[in-house]
Structure 1
């Protein structure tokens, strides 16, 4: 729940009467089954950042992946990976994109 509370606070801090209408956060369930998360990072230090698709495929029922491009964080994963995806996003916001030498 700590990650969800953090995301709620992060979202609330961006709500200015405009951002939440044009940008915001999308959280969807998918038919494969799983989760899809899209979070706009305009007006954050990640706005111009790029992170290629990073995937973790352990099995058909144990997987997740994410990327950051065009001011949009996109993550998806199996039904048990919603918190993992949100933790990845939180880590990127708090620590930025790791450089290849730090990975």
Structure 2
């Protein structure tokens, strides 16, 4: 996977219907010439990351990099051909070394017998820029631990509750490594929250 795909996956893994409205990634050019990269770390597994001193490497007028973390933001500058070095540093150094494994992402895992209709909420932790590890599911007996797609999903959900929510089987289990995707209708749900669907 190339660097552009990897940074796109980092962005995607943090999109949850809320985060992307306030935070994100900016990549722009400088007039000296060069690149300026800002990556918001708030409400991500890197929100506690630190680079207390600005690190700068100057090789030539067009080959240089500088980066630091301030106010929960990774900020980097570089020469016109150093954008890949900046993104590599963030993905290969900052993320694996400072990603907080205790930071929990809330995700929806489809139920095996109700694909596309019913999901079960789970907590997950970061593995890398595109994968999460399922830690635990929300309580199976609590109907608030499930998300339904629409009115057509309500009937099977009622049937499921009539038997046993605890017996519903998700397509993944705690300890599984999953790859993030986004299910559009969960972003427009009226349940008061939105989630990333993994599969």
Q: Which TM-score applies when normalising by structure 1?
A: 0.85
Greater C-alpha radius of gyration: 2
Rounded to whole Å, the distance in 1 between the matches of 2:44 and 2:89 is 16
1:1-103 correspondence runs (5 A): 2-51=2-51, 52-91=53-92, 92-96=94-98
Query: Deviation per CA, 1:46-102, whole angstroms, max 9, x where unpaired?
Result: 2122202000011222111100122100011011000100011102112228xxxxx
* Secondary structure class of the residue paired with 1:59: coil
Q: Which TM-score applies when normalising by structure 2?
A: 0.46
Off by >4 Å, runs of 4+ in structure 1: none
Is the contact made by 2:62 and 2:81 (CA closer than 8 Å) also made in structure 1? no
Is the contact made by 1:48 and 1:70 (CA closer than 8 Å) also made in structure 2? no
Question: Which structure: greater strand fraction?
Answer: 1
Which gives a bigger RCO, structure 1 or 2 (Cα 8 Å, sep 6+)?
1
Q: Which runs of 5+ in 2 are unaligned?
A: 100-199
Aligned residues: 97
Q: Which runs of 5+ in 1 are unaligned?
A: 98-103
Higher mean C-alpha deviation, range 70-79 or range 88-97: 88-97
Deviation at 1:21, TM superposition (A): 1.7
Is the contact made by 1:54 and 1:67 (CA closer than 8 Å) also made in structure 2? yes
